[in-house]
Amino acid sequence: MKARVHVTLKNGVLDPQGKAIEHALAALGFGGVNEVRQGKVIEFSLAESDPAKARAEVEAMCEKLLANTVIENYAIELNG
């Protein structure tokens, strides 16, 4: 089974990198771009084939390592 974890900043947490991207897009002439937020995507394959167990396992990974839940949210996608 393939897992994909999206880690994004929580609402209300300032994202200076997102702001810099927003300004760079504006400087390149892409108008009307607002609220840019930068995050990260982490992909991996899992030996576990049961979807419920796999989800629980990936959630534990997110809580322990993949996301810092003080400032970040995570979303899990499972395929296969």
Partner 1 sequence: MKAAVIVFPGSNCDRDVQVALRQSMGSEPLMVWHKDSDFEKVDLIVLPGGFSYGDYLRCGAMAANSPVMKEVVARARKGVAVLGICNGFQVLTETGLLPGVLMRNADLRFVCRDVRVKVETSQSLFTAKYEQGQAIRIPVAHHDGNYFVDDDTLSAMEDRGQVALRYCDAAGEITAEANPNGSLRNIAGVYNETKTVLGLMPHPERLADPRMGGSDGRALFDGLVEALR
The residues binding partner 1 (CB under 8 A) are 13-14, 16-17, 20, 64-66, 68, 70-71
Distances (CA, A) of 68 to 10, 22, 44, 53, 78: 10, 24, 19, 22, 21
**Nearest distance in Å: CB 19, partner 1:** 9
**Nearest distance in Å: CB 16, partner 1:** 5
**Nearest distance in Å: CB 43, partner 1:** 14
Distances (CA, A) of 38 to 5, 49, 65: 14, 31, 19
**For residues 45 and 68, which CB has a smaller minimum distance to partner 1 in the complex?**
68
